Amino acid sequence: MAEVIGVRFKNTGKVYYFDPGGVRLHKGQMAVVETARGIECGEVAMENRQVPDGSIVQPLRKLVRPATPEDRQRAEDNRRKEKSAFRACEKRIASRGLEMKLVDVEYTFDNSKILFYFTADGRVDFRELVKDLAGIFHTRIELRQIGVRDEAKMLGGIGICGRPFCCGSFLGGFQPVSIKMAKEQGLSLNPVKISGTCGRLMCCLKYEQEAYQDLLRTTPKTGATVSTPEGKGVVIDTNLLTRRLTVRLDKDPDAAPKVFQADQVKVLRDGRVKVDKKEAERLKALEK
C-alpha cells in the first residue's frame, strides 16, 4: 500500500496520483506537482489515502508544494494569456488558409510551452504556423490534433437530454461504445437519436449496458422458438425491461400475436441480436 493524493488539471480531466510526501491536503485545494511535462498546478480531487501498489503507475511523482497565493495568481494569469494566444493563433490559421479548427490553448504552469489543440478532417501541414507562433510567443509551441469527442469535452455544452455533456461534467475518460449496444437496448438505429452533439454514439449507451446484457441472458430474444401455455411459437418482439414477449403462435400464424411474460415460456431455440451488415457499415462512423 502507498499513500497518494489525486490531482486533476482540468475541470473534468483524469485524476492522477502523486506522492504527498507526508503533507496533508484537502479536496478542492490547489497543489503544485511534478509531471512528465514539467511543473504543473492542479486541483486536489482526492485527499490523502492508501491505495494498492498495483493501482499506481510507477514512478510515482512527488508533490512539490501546496499552492501558494503566488502560484494561484500565476495560474489565473495563464488562463488570461491563453485567451490572447487563442485569438492570435486563429488569425494565423486564417491568414495561411489552413483547413483546421482551433479548439483550445493551454499554457504550461512555468510558461515553458504552449499547447494548441485543433480538429481537422485529415492531416495538416502546420510547420509554418508553428514558426509563426514561436516568433510571437518566444517559447516552445506544440500543436495537437484531437478528435470530435475530445472537442466536445473541452468546449462543453448541453446534450439532447437537457443536461450538460457527460464528458464535460464528470467523465474522466471515454469508454468504447458500439452500434451493437444500441441494438441490444432496443433503440432505433437512427443516427439522430443515438448520437451526441459530437456526432458519435452517445456515451450514456454504456451506462446500462451491463443490465441489458444480464436481461438478455434470461430473456428469449427476437426470433427465438418458445413453448407457451397456448402452444409453440416464435418471438417477434421483446421488451427487456418488462420482460414481456410478443409471440406468433404456430397453430394460428395469421391471428393476432399473443403477449406472455418471459417466465411463462420455455425456450426451445434462442434467437440472436443481429445488426444488419449494410446498416452497420452505414453507422460505423458513429463509433469512431
Q: Quote the number of domains for the chain.
A: 4
53 and 115 inside one domain? no
165 is a domain residue: no
pLDDT in tens, 217-252: 989 999 999 999 999 999 999 999 999 999 999 998
Inter-residue contact 7 to 30 (CB < 8 Å)? no
Q: Which residues pair with 65 in a beta bridge?
A: 32
Peptide bond into 59 cis (omega under 30): yes
Burial of residue 161 (number of CB atoms within 10 Å: 0-12, 13-18, 19+): exposed
Residue 109 is predicted with a pLDDT of 92
Structure-derived torsion over alpha carbons of residues 262, 268, 272, 273, reported in degrees to the nearest 10: -10
197 and 236 inside one domain? no
pLDDT band of 263, cuts 50, 70, 90: very high
282 is a domain residue: no
160 is a domain residue: no
Cα 269 to chain centroid, rounded: 38
126 is a domain residue: yes
pTM of the model: 0.78
By percentage, how much of the chain surpasses pLDDT 70?
Answer: 100
Q: What is the mean pLDDT of residues 177-191?
A: 89
pLDDT band of 30, cuts 50, 70, 90: very high
Looking at every residue in the chain, the average pLDDT score rounds to 90
**Mapping DSSP to helix (H, G, I), strand (E, B) and coil, where does residue 63 land?**
strand
Query: Is pLDDT of 206 > 90?
Result: yes
- For residue 181, give the C-alpha cell: 449496444
pLDDT in tens, 126-158: 999 999 999 999 999 999 999 999 999 988 899
118 is a domain residue: yes
Q: What is the mean pLDDT of residues 68-89?
A: 94
77 and 18 inside one domain? no
Inter-residue contact 74 to 109 (CB < 8 Å)? yes
278 is a domain residue: no
Q: How many other C-beta atoms can be found within 10 angstroms of the C-beta atom of residue 132?
A: 19
Segments forming the whole domain that contains residue 181: 175-215
From 50, 67, 84, give the residue that closes a domain.
Answer: 67
Report which of 235, 237, 186 is spatially closest to residue 209, judged by C-alpha positions.
186
154 is a domain residue: no
Residue 195 is predicted with a pLDDT of 92
CATH no. for residue 245?
2.30.30.30
14 and 56 inside one domain? yes
205 and 225 inside one domain? no
Q: How far is CA 47 from CA 24, 52, 62, 101, 247, in A?
A: 8, 15, 15, 38, 55
205 and 224 inside one domain? no
pLDDT in tens, 47-70: 998 888 888 888 888 899 999 999
> Which residue is associated with the grid cell 498546478?
41
Residue 127 is predicted with a pLDDT of 92
Residue 15 is predicted with a pLDDT of 87
Query: Is pLDDT of 211 > 80?
Result: yes
186 and 248 inside one domain? no
8 is a domain residue: yes
